[in-house]
A and B are shown apart, each in its own frame.
Chain A
């Protein structure tokens, strides 16, 4: 890790600790980092923290996995077939602007208070960036590249597998990455509104009893998970798209 990556968090926590220790601000509003760490430790030792993390990750994983699967496959079909895109586009543009959280009451009615309603909402949140990016990726494949493959003897199936798919992969991966962030946002919202477990629930529960350190633990875990997730996604992306990395701005930085 580069030194620049460490300076800003260390400085923030240093000043914060000082403010906390000198009690410049009421600890009810801003507990010191050490107090938060102590809280995190006790939550971890009791296992409570990991239960919440596990539940949230399970819901995100299921919803996101379904969204990615449907988004990529439907997106490929819609990018490939102009007719299918014309049929489905109005429907998609009607559903897309609806906030995932707005679906919650109806989903609870349909699927109950359990994981089902949450998974559906994460699914809704992750689907569209993947779907739209996949459509754009497939439609954006250079026709001349396809012609080159055809003159080399590729049949339609081979053109699809060996040209269209790899050529649209960078755009598809971008959609997959955008969706991970949206899924994380949606899960917290859903769990704050209607859940008995999960990281969103942890935050609301802490608020009810004015347990400020616990709120901070929830926020830190969310930040940490998001960060880890993004790092992992980047590594995966660079692995899959070795050929693409160095032809783009990201590779030059």
Chain B
């Protein structure tokens, strides 16, 4: 087994949203997390616990208020093609075809046209979009749009890919299908993934480690290592070990939470 190096190192990270004049919300406080190279880490927690905020910080779309956030030993300083993000709303460019959407990253980075064509066709194949290259986003189903978004992020060959509830708006069957697909893609294309989700089952199924967060302020509550061997099959979700682990995670999230938050977690999980 190869030796893994830490890729992301969050140390005492604090993020406060506010106008600087009294009105402020602490999204993250004393947040510590180390993510290893090529690791698949999921983050789960009640709404408003700052899990999406953490992704925005790593993506460089929001600055940290205090503390250290290192990517590959360097402070995150603004958006960078090395850390790609995939959003729940896909955010494809509607005026670009599937092909041109995936090409966007290499294109703005000045990759030659010939090389671009190789990259795009490789990722189109990887995410299974052959035959729809010329279509526009509005002609695609939700699952296909998310495949395009994933391929578009991968086309920059990022060190880390940040996924903010990427399957949150898909129907249950497509969602299961996309989880299996994501694992296959990740297996073939090992990069680091930080995956934010509301679904315990999804998180346990996908991850090497599962980070459970506390809200108000957002910080890491507990980290579960997920021991199941890879490549994983969908069937493992009904195995005794999986069920017990998921129940443990659920119990942890539910304890110490107010009634309101219990309700919201259970509601979300039913998706």
Q: Hey, which bits of chain A sit against chain B, CB under 8 A?
A: 142, 144-145, 147-155, 158, 162-163, 166-167, 169, 242-244, 246-247
Tell me whether A152 and B105 are in contact in the complex, defined as CB-CB below 8 angstroms, given that A147-B79, A244-B95 are known contacts. yes
Q: In whole Å, how far is B12's beta carbon from the nearest beta carbon of chain A?
A: 25
Q: How many A-B residue pairs have CB under 8 A?
A: 72
Contact indicator B84/A151 (Cβ below 8 Å): yes
B67 is an interface residue with CB less than 8 A from chain A: no
Contact indicator B84/A246 (Cβ below 8 Å): no
Distance in angstroms between the alpha carbons of A163 and B96 in the assembled complex: 10
Contact indicator A244/B108 (Cβ below 8 Å): no
Q: Hey, which bits of chain B sit against chain A, CB under 8 A?
A: 59-61, 78-81, 83-85, 87, 89, 91, 93-96, 104-105, 108-109, 136-139, 152-153, 156
Q: With CB as the reference atom, state the residue of chain A lying closest to B94.
A: A243
**Across the A-B interface, the 10 shortest Cβ-Cβ residue pairs:** A153-B81, A150-B79, A152-B105, A148-B91, A154-B108, A166-B95, A247-B138, A243-B95, A243-B136, A151-B79
Contact indicator A150/B136 (Cβ below 8 Å): no
Distance in angstroms between the alpha carbons of A158 and B87 in the assembled complex: 21
Distance in angstroms between the alpha carbons of A153 and B137 in the assembled complex: 21
- Which of A145, A153, A163 is close to B80, meaning CB atoms less than 8 Å apart? A153
Q: With CB as the reference atom, state the residue of chain A lying closest to B61.
A: A147
- Which of A158, A167, A169, A242 is close to B108, meaning CB atoms less than 8 Å apart? A158
Contact indicator A163/B93 (Cβ below 8 Å): yes
- Which of A150, A153, A162, A244 is close to B109, meaning CB atoms less than 8 Å apart? A153
Q: In whole Å, how far is B196's beta carbon from the nearest beta carbon of chain A?
A: 15
| A-B contact list, 26 entries, CB within 8 Å | A145-B91, A147-B59, A147-B91, A150-B61, A151-B59, A151-B79, A151-B81, A151-B83, A151-B85, A152-B84, A152-B108, A152-B156, A153-B80, A153-B105, A153-B109, A154-B104, A155-B108, A162-B93, A162-B104, A163-B93, A167-B94, A243-B95, A243-B136, A246-B136, A246-B139, A247-B138
Q: In whole Å, how far is B161's beta carbon from the nearest beta carbon of chain A?
A: 10
Tell me whether A151 and B61 are in contact in the complex, defined as CB-CB below 8 angstroms, given that A243-B138, A247-B138 are known contacts. yes
Distance in angstroms between the alpha carbons of A162 and B107 in the assembled complex: 10
Distance in angstroms between the alpha carbons of A155 and B108 in the assembled complex: 8
Interface contacts beyond A152-B108, A244-B94: sample of 4 additional A-B pairs, CB < 8 Å, sorted by A: A149-B108, A151-B81, A166-B95, A242-B136
Distance in angstroms between the alpha carbons of A155 and B61 in the assembled complex: 14
